[in-house]
Chain A
């Protein structure tokens, strides 16, 4: 399944690249992609995993840019 999120307050392009790398490392993530311009994050993963992945992704994102929030679209 593909899940798409909006990264609110995403400000810097190189942070977006770092977030992408970090989220790709989370267990159970098949692939993750961040498009800086639309501030969108797409995670491809198994349906049963998405709850915990979402939490970890949120954590990873805030570690890199603290004011960014994950919003499901």
Chain B
């Protein structure tokens, strides 16, 4: 609690005690009035000062204005205790609001507290404490037990259990030893690590996450925009009605001026829109913050809102529903031996970064002499062609073979078949398989349970492989044998049918679909940078089950925002009507106003914690 808070509490207490003395001690009128006046000034002077300042700045319509007018009015019609109570409760409410806002600000800033202030730089065998910005790529740094890893890098010495929860939401620590890549923001728990830095401070994972979270609050949701717009018209409208209420009935009907002034004052007190203005952004803020604790980065309140409306989820297969780490499972040579076939394929794939190429080179396992490879070319969606020692080698799927008129033997297994030809002659086939992620099936069933109408899968793989995977996961619709350009076509077709589409993907060729869909969700850790840039939501630990979790958070946030709008407006409308007809007192009006604000804020704060418990459920069930 800062100094402002403390002095406010003291003022409220002193003023409250004086108020009680004034009411109950039974002094004569003059003394009571003096005590009330003292109590009034003690509790009210900051409000009056703000009020005067606002008049001086010619922007008088704010809460201070409302409260000052209402309390002075109460004094004027001989209701001194009520005038004091208005200011007392108003300030108690303010304290609550400050506290709630402060608390949620702090829990958000703890999310972005991912970077250490200093770095132990290893220079000529000695540790020099340096600033994070001074370290270059290739430098060696030392991370001691309990410290945060400051920059992304590769472990060159030592091993330790690394707690990645603040980056990925994954609660089980991972072992990192020599050769492993470690991410900034994670905490090394029990061993000393020497790390070779692979990213600059500004490009490191932790900095990027912080930037993303901070930028997220700038993209405002529609409900937030509605509230801002609403508040702009609401306060002047209420002030105008209050004036009319005070003046018109006494003038036209000859009613008592005191009674109608009192009613007008109640009207004013209820009118403060702060419950809405604070609680709606707070709900989205909490939703985004809570999701990021579970390893889901949402780039703005507007995406959270769009996600709540999604009815169709389209997954890319490779690297999203499957791990994207391939292994050569079977080698079926034609007229040559296994190692010869593998060698030809590995040479042709030498320049490619496609996961399949990587797996073939890994299976070959020997050094490749790059000088004999010429005119290497990647044919998107088909494979590669290259000239190896003067012979044209084609490595790819059946389309590549048939397009080049190669007579090949079709394989019908469940893995991905990669056919190899050299010099126009079929040399054999490599069957490559990819493991399905352990929580993919759970993700699909959760999505269906949460009311998603259609879960679809896109893949460049042949039909039987795609259908096999889809069937084992319980996916309804499969689009197989797609070229990268076909994927966006399917997304567009679904959009034109009036559906609200979320696309989940990871690869470079997914970036257009991520950008085109209503909500693009990228797999973070292994996804390409282009995909993460184009996406609206990034899942840090690559778990497909975070997609239904994100949808759940989005729906919950939206319903909390709607609850708050209806609740706050409903209560205000009710009390405005009651106030206009004189059925409530000023003190009750203040209670209504403060109470609504506090309840709405507490309701909003729930969004901060909901994804944490849900994410534990996922860990337990998969």
Contacts and interface: CB of A to CB of B under 8 A. Distances in A.
A12 interface: yes
B402 to A, nearest CB: 53
Contacts of B217: 35, 37-38, 40
B214 A38 contact: yes
Interface in A1-50: 9, 11-15, 17-18, 33, 35-40, 42
Contact of B62 (A14, A33, A35, A42): A14
Interface string B22-54: 000000000000000000000000000010010
Interface of A: 9, 11-15, 17-18, 33, 35-40, 42, 63-64, 66-67
Nearest to B288: A37
B281 A37 contact: yes
Given A35-B218, A42-B218, A63-B59, A13 B277 contact: yes
A56 to B, nearest CB: 14
A26 B108 CA distance: 31
Interface in B80-122: 98, 101, 104-105, 108
Contacts of A33: 218
A64 B53 CA distance: 8
Contacts of A15: 62
B274 interface: yes
Contacts of A11: 98, 101
Contact of A38 (B59, B105, B282): B105
A9, A38, A40: most-surrounded residue (chain B CB, <10 A) = A38
Interface of B is mostly: helix
Contact of B231 (A14, A40, A42, A63): A14
Contact of A64 (B59, B232, B274): B59
A9 B4 CA distance: 10
Given A17-B228, A17-B231, A63-B57, A37 B218 contact: no
Given A35-B217, A35-B218, A40-B214, A13 B281 contact: yes
B428 interface: no
A68 to B, nearest CB: 12
B217 to A, nearest CB: 4
Contacts of B505: none
Nearest to B102: A11
Contacts of B98: 11
A14 B105 contact: no
Pairs of residues from A and B, 4 with the lowest C-beta to C-beta distance, nearest first = A13-B277, A35-B217, A37-B285, A63-B57
24 contacts: A9-B4, A12-B63, A13-B274, A13-B277, A13-B278, A14-B274, A15-B62, A17-B228, A17-B231, A17-B232, A17-B277, A35-B218, A36-B281, A37-B105, A37-B108, A37-B281, A37-B285, A38-B214, A38-B217, A39-B105, A40-B214, A63-B53, A63-B57, A64-B59
A36 B186 CA distance: 29
Given A12-B274, A13-B277, A37 B53 contact: no
Task: Name the residue among A11, A14, A33 with the largest chain B CB count within 10 angstroms.
Answer: A14
Nearest to A15: B62
Interface in B546-581: none
B381 interface: no
Contacts of B218: 33, 35, 42
Contacts of A64: 57, 59
A35 B281 CA distance: 9
Contact of B104 (A9, A37, A40): A37
